[in-house]
Amino acid sequence: MPKVVRWTVPASLPCYGDWDFHIHPGTFDLFVEPVVAVFREYVNWRRWYYSRNRKRESGYRSYLYHIAALDWLEDSARRSDLVVWEWEPVLVWHLASKVVYTCQWSQVRCPSCAADYPPGSGRVAEWSIGWGLAAEGGRRYVCPAGHTLYAIGDWNS
């Protein structure tokens, strides 16, 4: 059985206020391997940038925080098949779209339905608000009952 990290989508983020749908924060059992891969990709991408810039910037502290979270996840996964995410949920939120939208998870819990759903039971829907140069959009994962369990903006104009 693959190792999973249980992670709940942040319940409230400033960007949610602009969207024309409600977030029902899903609890995903994400497979550890793809989560580690997206964290590594992020850390490696930022390593080049921060190796050439000032270390006092807040972005550098965030980079170090991601490294610490990655180390914690890998260490925790060595000790247990189920890891409960104990760090800020937003760390996974901004990196998880690839994992969520390609259904690299074993189940998701919809808090509004009080039900667990397997991958493929919901759907990925596109969304957008605004128009012209004042628009943004992205994708969201929706449970069979239509509740948005995860969403992130992919673009803005």
What pLDDT digit, counting tens, does each position of 30-80 carry? Answer: 999 999 999 999 999 888 777 666 666 777 888 889 999 999 999 999 999
Question: CA 57 to CA 118: how far, in whole Å?
Answer: 41
- Indicate the helix (H) or strand (E) that contains 51: none
Exposure string over 56-72, b if 16+ CB within 10 A, otherwise e: eeeeeeebeebbebbee
Q: How many structural domains is the chain composed of?
A: 1
Q: Please give the Cα distance from 119 to 110 (Å, whole number).
A: 13
User: Which of helix, strand or coil describes residue 10?
Assistant: coil
Enclosing domain of residue 60: 4-156
Question: pTM score, two decimals?
Answer: 0.91
